[in-house]
Amino acid sequence: MRSLDTPFSFQIESRDSATAARRGRLITPHGEIPTPVFMPVGTAGSVKCLTFEQVAATGAKIILGNTYHLYLRPGHDLVARRGGLHRFQGWDGALLTDSAGYQVFSLAHLNKLDEHGVAFQSHLDGSRHLFTPELSMEIQIALGADIVMAFDHCVAFGADVRATAEAVDRTERWLRRCIDAFGPGGRTDREGWQRVLFGIVQGGVFPAERTRSAARLIDLDLPGYAVGGLSVGEPISQMYDLTAHTASLLPQDKPRYLMGVGFPDDIIEGVRSGIDMFDCVLPTRIARKGTVVTRDGRLVVKNSPYAEDDRPLDPECDCSVCARYSRAYIRHLFASRELLGQTLASLHNVHFYQSLMRDIRTAIDTGSFDAHTRPIVQRWREGEKRRIEEAGKRRPGGR
């Protein structure tokens, strides 16, 4: 799998003629990854509920690990002593780690953010910690990720233009510190494998700030760029507009990663705007609560209407769960608090996203992205609308 002859690179293999969608290939020391790609999230060393054999069987070739969680438990030093995160968790595919920038903002009790870094209290035990760009690099290098993310300053939805501009400036200064800590000329590990650092474009909901942030990062000529700080509460249409705006500014020949997005229709819209990489906890998180994704929107399989439904979770799905188990059975598992319910729902959902990305890549290859993906978006949205209407008959709800 690992080969010194294949340093990190990104190749575009085909482009859609009518949109910015592109089909490419990300080449890493831990394998080649066809793009657009969806990365399952393995927060704390595990794509929750699934063995890595099961993750690999869905077709996933790259997963995401969380610096924040792994730093707190079991600790990056311990993981490094085990030979790095690949070896520790038994995953031989490619690995991207986030920088903890988003988690200290969203999960931890944020005590203080200044130019030096972010002081916060652990969501696990309240212990106090200080994250800096340098520490984020140290942790990610210890974990041994193929793709390391810069430590950025993410602002909350609702931040004004002044606070957003400050975060853009700080994100750039912190990125320079990340580059210094990571190794200005790139980085190869002890064994000679190349690792890369991606920058993260911020700028909140202000297109001008997005433009300014992208320009600053592009000057630093990194091997890949992420669009950060979206899907944090802004309206969907604004998220789409900001994604399209930001993606259009980024270099054509570098991979573009839209962080934390999302639903199938959001992903298709992202690809349409020229995004190559996605991640989201959605498929595994909703699975553990008894909800699965289907071509016709989400399905809350744990609910009683499915108690005698002999159909698979998604009748059009070719995953191992849909081949063997019915909605009635999986509903029974959730009703009986059998952990297998969470496993089967997670496995189906992770497979569903990999299958969606295969369909998207085929749509680009055949040169008719919109014609192939419009029906997918339409069915998803109609299914979601029906589900929300039906749920609304019993109680207020929504997306």
Closer to a copy of itself at the Cβ: 53 or 114? 53
Shortest reach from residue 152's CB to a copy of itself, in Å: 26
Q: On the CB side of 27, how many CA atoms lie within 13 Å of its CA?
A: 11
The backbone region for 41, taken as left when phi is positive above 0, alpha when psi lies in -120 to 50, beta otherwise, is: beta
Burial 181-214 (b: 16+ CB within 10 A, else e): bbeeeebeeeeebbbbbbbbbbbbbbeebbbbbb
Beta bridge partners of 32: 27
Residues with Cβ < 8 Å from 72, sequence gap 6 or more? Answer: 122, 124, 129
Choose the catalytic residue: 146, 266, 276, 279.
Answer: 279
Region near a copy of itself per CB under 8 A, out of 139-147, 170-178, 218-226, 336-344:
336-344
Reply yes or no on whether 98 is catalytic.
yes
With CB under 8 A as the contact rule, the residue among 10, 68, 88, 257 that binds a copy of itself is 88
Per-residue CA distances from 26 to 32, 62, 206, 337 (Å) = 6, 10, 30, 40
Minimum separation from the CB atom of position 330 to a copy of itself (A)? 10
Q: Are the C-beta atoms of 9 and 28 separated by less than 8 Å?
A: no
Asked if residue 131 binds a copy of itself (CB under 8 A), the reply is no
Q: Is 31 in the site for a copy of itself (CB under 8 A)?
A: no
Secondary structure percentages of the chain, helix, strand, coil, to 5: 45, 20, 40
163: which residues sit within 8 A by CB, 6+ positions away? 155
325 near a copy of itself, judged by CB under 8 A: yes
Angle at alpha carbon of residue 113, lines to 108 and 117, rounded to 5°:
95
The only residue of 44, 163, 236, 388 in contact with a copy of itself, by rule CB under 8 A: 44
Q: Are 356 and 264 in contact (CB under 8 A)?
A: yes
Instruction: Rank residues 323 and 398 by Cβ distance to a copy of itself and give the closer one.
Output: 323
Q: Using the rule CB under 8 A, which residue among 1, 17, 18, 73 binds a copy of itself? A: 73
Nearer to a copy of itself, 74 or 186 (CB): 74
Site for a copy of itself contains 89 (CB under 8 A): yes
279 catalytically annotated = yes
Residues in contact with a copy of itself, counted by CB under 8 A, come to a total of 39
Comparing CB distances to a copy of itself, the nearer of 18 and 339 is: 339
| 45 near a copy of itself, rule: CB under 8 A | yes
**Which residue is catalytic, options 98, 265, 276, 314?**
98
CB 136 within 8 A of CB 129: no
The catalytic residues are 98, 279
Which residues of the shown chain bind a copy of itself in the complex (CB under 8 A)? 44-46, 48-53, 69, 73-74, 78, 81-83, 88-90, 307-308, 310, 320, 324-326, 328-329, 332-333, 335-336, 338-340, 342-344, 347
